[in-house]
Structure 1
Amino acid sequence: MVTIPGLASLRGRVLLLAVGIAGLVILLAAVPLALLLRSAAYDDAEREATYAAQNVSDYLSSGTYDDQVLDQYLKRVNGRTSWPVTIVMSDGDVLGAGLSSAALKSATRDGGRAIDADGDGDQRGDGDGDADNLGFVSDARTISVDDGRLVEILADDGDGQARVVASVDNSVIFSSVRTRYALVGVAALGLLLLAGAAAEVTSRRLVRPLRRTADTAGRLSAGDLAARAPEEGPAEVAQVAVELNALAGRIDELLTTERESTADLSHRLRTPLTAVRLGVEALPASERKVELEQHVASLQRTLTQVIRAARRPQREGVHPRADAAAVVRERLEFWTPLAEDQERAVTVDVAGGESWVRSSADDLATTIDALLENVMAHTPEGTPFGLRLVPGPEDVAIEVHDDGPGIPSGAISRGQSDRGSSGLGLDIARSTTEAVGGTIEVGRVDGTTMVRITLPTAGSPQHGADGAAQP
Structure 2
Amino acid sequence: MRWRLALLVAAAMSLVLLAFLVPLALLLRGVAADRAVSAATTQAQSLGVLVATADPQSLRLAVEQVNVDARRPVTVYLPDGTVVGPAVGRTPAVSLAARTTTLSVEHADGREVLVVVQGLPEGTAVIRVFVPLAELRKGVARAWLVLALLGVGLLAVGVAVADRLAVMVVRPIRTLATVSDALAGGDLDRRAPAAVGPPEVRAVAAALNQLAARIRDLLRHERERVADLSHRMRTPMTALRLDAEGLRDQAEAARILAHVAALDSAVTTVIEDTRRERDLPSCDATAVVAERIRFWTVLAEDQQRPVETDLPAGPLPVAVSAADLAACVDALLGNVFAHTEEGVAVAVTLDPRRVLTVQDAGPGFDPAAGARGVSGAGSTGLGLDIARRTAEAAGGTLTVDRAPLGGARVTVTLSALTEP
Q: TM-score when scaled to structure 1?
A: 0.63
The 2-side partners of 1:278 and 1:354 are apart by: 36
Question: Does residue 69 of structure 2 align to residue 77 of structure 1?
Answer: yes
Which has the higher mean CA deviation after the structures are superposed, 257-266 or 179-188?
179-188
Q: Is the 8 A contact 2:309 2:348 kept in 1?
A: yes
* Percent identical residues: 32
Q: Deviations over 1:184-237 (max 9, x none)?
A: 567656655665555444334423332332343233233332333344322212
Query: How far apart are 1:304 and its partner, in Å?
Result: 2.4
Structure 1: how far apart are the matches of 2:260 and 2:184? Answer: 37
What is the Cα deviation at residue 327 of structure 1?
1.8
Root-mean-square deviation over aligned CA pairs: 5.3
Cα distance in 2 for partners of 1:406, 1:251 equals 41
Q: Which amino acid aligns with 2:351?
A: L
1:385 counterpart (325, 331, 347):
347
Q: Which amino acid aligns with 2:275?
A: R
SS of 2:171 mapped into structure 1: helix
From the superposition, tell whether residues 384 and 25 of structure 1 become closer, same or farther in structure 2 (CA, over 3 Å).
closer
Over residues 9-63 of structure 1, what are the superposed CA-to-partner deviations in whole Å (9 max), with x where a residue is unaligned? x556645643453354346547754663353132221244356558878999999
The residue aligned with 1:133 is none
Among 199, 205, 214, the residue aligned to 1:250: 214
Does the C-alpha gap of structure 1 residues 328 and 261 become closer, same or farther in structure 2, counting only changes over 3 Å? same
Change (3 A) 1:448 1:384: same
Alignment of 1:17-416 (within 5 A): 17-26=8-17, 28-29=19-20, 32-33=23-24, 36-50=27-41, 70=62, 73-78=65-70, 81=71, 83-87=72-76, 92-96=82-86, 98=88, 100-105=90-95, 143-145=103-105, 147=107, 148-150=111-113, 152=115, 165-169=128-132, 173=136, 195-196=158-159, 198-231=161-194, 232-267=196-231, 269-270=233-234, 272-273=235-236, 275-285=238-248, 296=260, 299-313=263-277, 316-317=278-279, 319-322=280-283, 326-329=284-287, 331-332=289-290, 335=293, 339=297, 342=301, 346-348=308-310, 350=312, 356-357=318-319, 359-369=320-330, 371=332, 383=345, 385-389=347-351, 391=353, 396-403=354-361, 410=369
Correspondence for 1:7: none
User: Residues 285 and 318 of structure 2 are in contact (CA less than 8 Å); yes or no, is this contact kept in structure 1?
Assistant: no
Deviations 1:138-187 (A, max 9, x none): xxxx6223543526497xxxxxx997653335686479878867875676
* Of 334-343 and 247-256, the range deviating more from structure 2: 334-343
C-alpha deviation, 1:460, in angstroms: 1.9
* Residue correspondences, number: 405
User: Partners of 1:351 and 1:294 in 2: how far apart?
Assistant: 29
* Distance change in 2, residues 1:23/1:198 (3 Å): same
User: Any idea what SS the aligned residue of 2:69 has?
Assistant: helix
Asked whether the equivalents of residues 287 and 315 of structure 2 are also in contact (C-alpha less than 8 Å), the reply is no
Change (3 A) 1:412 1:21: closer
Aligned 8 A contact 1:49 1:168 in 2: yes
Q: Deviation string for 1:47-100 (max 9, x for gaps)?
A: 44356558878999999x96786565334211xx3x323345798451247464
Over 3 Å counting, the alpha-carbon distance change for 1:458 and 1:151 in structure 2 is farther
Residue 307 of structure 1, CA deviation: 0.8
Contact conserved, 1:397 with 1:452, CA < 8 A, in 2?
A: no
What are the Cα deviations for residues 313-343 of structure 1, in whole angstroms up to 9, with x where unaligned? 1xx31x4344xxx422453267459859959
Q: In the superposition, relative to structure 1, how do residues 397 and 412 fare at CA in structure 2: closer, same or farther (>3 Å)?
A: farther
Aligned partner of residue 150 in structure 1, secondary structure = strand
> Which 5+ residue runs of structure 2 have no aligned equivalent?
118-123
Deviations along 1:297-316, one digit per CA (max 9) or x if unpaired, are: 56535522421331341xx3
The change in CA–CA distance for 1:460 and 1:17 in structure 2 (over 3 A counts) is closer
The one-letter code of the counterpart of 1:348 is D
1:454 equivalent to 2:412? Answer: yes
Q: Is the 8 A contact 1:345 1:385 kept in 2?
A: yes
Deviations 1:249-282 (A, max 9, x none): 2212221232234334534553x24541343235
What SS does the aligned partner of 1:76 have?
coil
Distance 1:448 1:227 in 2: 50
Whether the aligned pair in 1 keeps the contact of 2:76 and 2:84 (CA below 8 Å) is yes
